[in-house]
Amino acid sequence: MSVIYIMLPAALVIVTLAIIAFVRAVLAGQYDDVDTPAYRALLDGAPTDSAPDTPKEPRPTRVTSGWSASDR
């Protein structure tokens, strides 16, 4: 029964911190535009902030072990 005297205040502190973090995120504007990223995937054309094209690296050659099945 004595564990409730430790767990209840700890849970209340954690919940309070979570609420404070959520309120700060809302006030900072993190949840202002939640629809545009979903529609951006449906639009035709290249993305506006795409990474530059990088040349493809050549495929590595196949390495053989030097023995075949007939060497067994």
pLDDT, one tens digit for every residue, the chain (72 residues): 899 999 999 999 999 999 999 999 999 988 888 778 778 778 766 656 555 566 666 666 666 666 655 655
| 1 is a domain residue | yes
Whole-prediction pTM value? 0.48
Q: What is the pLDDT of residue 16?
A: 98
| 5 is a domain residue | yes
| 59 is a domain residue | no
| 17 is a domain residue | yes
Per the structure, the count of domains in the chain is: 1
| 9 is a domain residue | yes
Residue 58, CB-side half-sphere exposure with 13 Å CA sphere: 3
C-alpha distances in Å from residue 27, one per residue of 20, 42, 71: 11, 29, 72
Q: Residue 13: give the domain boundaries.
A: 1-42
**Rounded CA separation 13/6 (Å):** 11
Backbone angles phi, psi at 58, to 5 degrees: -65, 150
| 70 is a domain residue | no
| 61 is a domain residue | no
